[in-house]
Amino acid sequence: MDDDVLIGDEEPGADADGVAAVAAANPRSILGDHGRAALRQLLGDDLRLDEPMRRHTTVKIGGPADGFAMPSTVERLVALVRWCAAGGVPITVVGGGSNLLVRDAGVRGVVLNTGRLRRIEVVDGTAIEVEAGVSTGKVLSLALKHGLGGIEFLGGVPGSVGGGLIMNAGTYLGEFKDVTAAVESVRLADGATVRRDNAECGFRYRDSDLPPTEVVVGARLELRPRPRAEIEVEVRSLRQRRAEREPKKVASNGSTFKNPPGDFAGRLIEAAGCKGWQVGDALCSPVHANWLVNVGAATCTDLLTLIERVRARVADVHGVMLQLEVKIIGDQAEPG
């Protein structure tokens, strides 16, 4: 089993010239010298200032975050949340960046990334307790090792557990709602811990009722014993299907639009003649029409323009208004 790579977990010195250039050109930062110093004292190496968000999304797009925080424990995360709440500093929560589009002007305040919350263990024989930053690939590998089934769908889901829970990620084999017993989160208003059972999470197709006013920090997944060989067959089949149908060696978020009821977004886009459409380096993939990809140095403006053109064409041709599967964050204003 392969382990998904955590986006943005490079050494702090990586891409130093690019980071310096972004920092020098980030007059929009709202933190100020005092706020920057206080955050440094609070988080140390768990913080990067004026961090290009393109380094933390699979589509490789995004302007600078004033502060990019990666707390290594839930306790440090709670301390950050309380500091931000006390000072009125806005927090934007992100996970593995596999379903995220960040505007070119970047994100004001603190971007809170859960990628370093990586505790995972099998408990009570058939359950997995996992923190939000653990990659979906690692969860699947642990389940396979212990002969636990029900989570085979993760073979087709990139990114981290936190983001997967919020959007109820899945494939034709299943989705998070099928295996999630409970979700634990931290309230951004005061740092209090909240625990919800499955019914309280409001899971539905590529969405949930997990509120944006909280940050998901972990979950309990209830699985069932299953022969390892059977699990491997299903996962191998899913991954082979993905390999045959999905673009390779391009930066992307995977599927851009949700499938409408009873149909497929990719089919509608292809039938509307949008395959191959391009705005700057943003391309409607000729391999899979629902993958709007970055083939070079696409900006968020490029991709958003392409998204709206595709959506308008599909609406004209089919009478269907496609809904985004990706999440968009960041300052509406253009940099400069």
Catalytic status, residue 230: no
Residue tagged 């269907």 (tokens): 320
DSSP codes joined into one string, 225-238: E--HHHHHHHHHHH
3-class DSSP state of 297: coil
Residue of 175, 184, 214, 325 marked catalytic: 325
Task: Report the candidate in 27, 30, 48 with the shortest Cα–Cα distance to residue 39.
Answer: 48
Task: Report the candidate in 35, 46, 181 with the shortest Cα–Cα distance to residue 117.
Answer: 46
User: Cα torsion at 18, 24, 26, 31 (round to 10°)?
Assistant: 110
Residue of 54, 255, 311, 313 marked catalytic: 255
Residue of 206, 220, 311, 313 marked catalytic: 206
Catalytic status, residue 160: no
Cα R_g (the chain), whole angstroms: 20
Burial class of residue 141 in the structure, from the number of CB atoms within 10 Å of its CB (0-12 exposed, 13-18 middle, 19+ buried): middle
Please tell me the distance from the alpha carbon of residue 143 to that of residue 173, in angstroms, as a whole number. 15
Please tell me the distance from the alpha carbon of residue 82 to that of residue 161, in angstroms, as a whole number. 24
Catalytic status, residue 108: no
- Residues 6+ positions from 52 with CB-CB distance below 8 Å: 15, 18, 19, 22, 62, 63, 64
Residue 315 identity (one-letter amino acid): A
Residue tagged 């639009």 (tokens): 257
The residues that are catalytic are: 206, 255, 325
